Amino acid sequence: MLFSHIVFVALSVFGLVQAIPSPLAKEGVVERATNADVTGVLNTLKGRTDTILPQINALVASGNVNDRNVKPLFDQLSSALKTADASLGKFKAQGSLAGKTRTRSLLLVPTSSRTSTPLSRRSPSTSR
């Protein structure tokens, strides 16, 4: 009886130690690489929009705005935004591990001496 209590306590302590989150290796390196890539995409987008938006502003200021001269500029702007969105979507798909922790846990569920089925899997009608 005492042995079973000691084993239970030892396994519980082991389970608690395993449940403590451990930081992933080289967090900072992953974060810097991801930030550099995102910054590169945003700088490219800014460079493209810095050439398109002044043209749109000049058309608006001159009062010479019509579909024929504005549509190509909006198409260029839309293309730049779609390209940036696609580039940023790749980062989302890869996932960033920076700043996150991985948890490992061991769930200890007490079992009855009459059955080897864990309590969480017993049907509601099963008595203890």
> What's the pLDDT tens digit per position in 84-115?
988 887 775 444 455 554 444 444 445 454 44
Lowest mean pLDDT among 60-64, 82-86, 118-122: 118-122
CB 59 within 8 A of CB 65: yes
pLDDT tens for each residue of 3-23: 777 877 777 777 766 777 766
pTM attached to this predicted model: 0.47
The CA distance from 79 to 86, in Å, is: 10
- pLDDT number for residue 106: 45
Tokens read off for 72: 């190509």
User: How many beta carbons lie within 10 A of that of residue 16, not counting itself?
Assistant: 12
